[in-house]
A and B are shown apart, each in its own frame.
Chain A
């Protein structure tokens, strides 16, 4: 197996280049961090960078499903969010349990298990007027099970939805609208107070890792950053293994001419389903690493618009090339937070004042139109131009 991988890497040096750049970047951030280095990179910046790496991972998933398989899914952020919710349940439950047990330690009588459960319930679900812990939290005490659910729940949702949609041959824009509908339904469901996931309050305090209370956030943020980088590296490798293989030929064939692939004897639906579920799980894992760094998750983040932005990142970065997705996600999400964070210098044009917090979205929307019209291959397409220049 190891030999196969080596051979594969030898054949596709671009993977090594990518992993190399990622490693150097990771090292750079670690050395620059407050906890492990000279400290010119603030903890909040480390978190932002870690979150951006998660965005890059979900962008890879999006590129696989859209750029390679031709399914413009407007629902992958739903899987991202679900992954976040799954890990968030454990984080919130365990942390609350520790707090509750601590505070009850000095009670006149030591608390019974039922009293602890009730106190945890009140603590978590008080905001939505409940005290009972819903059934869906039955595994929240167990990290291994919740970790498994990170992949299983979004995977199962993707499987059921994909099975239904692909079976009935819904394709193209119809499929996009359908995925959008799925996302909307999920978001609306989670917005309800009796969804069992705290309605629009969402889950919060996720940056505090139970059992690691003593560790400062500056240190924790680096560990999560490294985890994000590792996940991105693995995700990149897996994506490459898929697309630089016969599997890649099949799914690109499906993208370009679904009927032809079918008449070649491939069961197209199974392949689409495979890619859809796989990328959903990738998205979910990205979410599960993202939200402990973000600290809070709520249903608004699952809304269809987020998934459309995901498509925007991938389109700007360049579809059908895995590194393009990474570039797009990193570029647009970093620019977005720079502009909307009020850090970008405003432009004074006499009486006209361009405040970027207000005008960034207008710029983004229009530049997106421009990219679609004039650079359908995105930023990644520029690399292609360079390559052809050199080969000439």
Chain B
């Protein structure tokens, strides 16, 4: 078995005495698709905050890649540049800018201000953007203002932006929220395709969606891992039934 891509060891964090994450350990391998489920307040979002550098844990370690890089004390942008992409709960695309500009912003390129300042549009970038746009089904909407897209389209645009970043690990927070059934299926297909070339972690409430992803599932509860395994395996776990499914 090869090394884990991301390894989270025994992290804890508390806000004003409330333990949001409690000795959580978690690891994911290259090219793996993983679903994380859990009731409200289980610490799913805080877990993502910690991995992406938004929140600093009180204890524990977060280790990245083959070289066993610690992600603690690194800024969000550094972590993003290392290859961790994140999609937020609410679709957050830049509504004032065109779909093309949104994807251009995300496209894997030098992020230094000077190279951004003297950036010139080129064919290889345009080709990449068109390819991604086709993948997320927005090829004919490149010049449209992102704010004018439908809710589902925005979600896909955001996933497209993640893909454009070419991350090695994708953290996706509730991608199916507010989507129609048809849109959901498209999203599932998108994520499964993405997981072929990179690791993907999907946080989701919706059991049907998780079932369709057809992957290993981690159940969080009160800031720690309650169970892990296939969806069928965890749904048979009595603890899981008690705290989550049996509600």
Contact = CB atoms under 8 A, between A and B. Distances in A.
Interface in B62-112: 75-78, 80-81, 85-86, 88, 92, 94-97, 101, 104-106, 111
B148 to A, nearest CB: 14
28 contacts: A4-B120, A245-B117, A246-B104, A246-B116, A246-B117, A246-B119, A249-B101, A252-B94, A253-B97, A253-B105, A256-B94, A257-B92, A260-B88, A260-B92, A260-B94, A263-B52, A263-B77, A263-B85, A264-B80, A264-B106, A265-B80, A265-B81, A265-B111, A266-B77, A266-B80, A267-B77, A270-B113, A274-B113
Contacts of B116: 246-247, 250, 271
Contacts of A266: 77, 80, 111
A268 B113 CA distance: 10
Contacts of A261: 105
Contacts of A12: none
Chain A at the B interface: mostly helix, strand, loop or mixed? helix
Given A252-B97, A261-B105, A263-B77, 14 more contacts: A242-B117, A246-B104, A246-B117, A246-B119, A249-B97, A249-B105, A250-B116, A252-B96, A260-B92, A262-B75, A263-B86, A265-B81, A268-B77, A271-B116
Interface residues of A, number: 24
B161 interface: yes
Interface of B: 52, 54, 75-78, 80-81, 85-86, 88, 92, 94-97, 101, 104-106, 111, 113, 116-117, 119-120, 161, 165
Contacts of A268: 77
A260 B117 CA distance: 19
Contacts of A246: 104-105, 116-117, 119
A246, A247, A264, A267 pick with most chain B CB within 10 angstroms: A264
A262 B80 contact: yes
Contacts of A259: 54, 76, 92
Given A249-B105, A256-B95, A267 B75 contact: yes
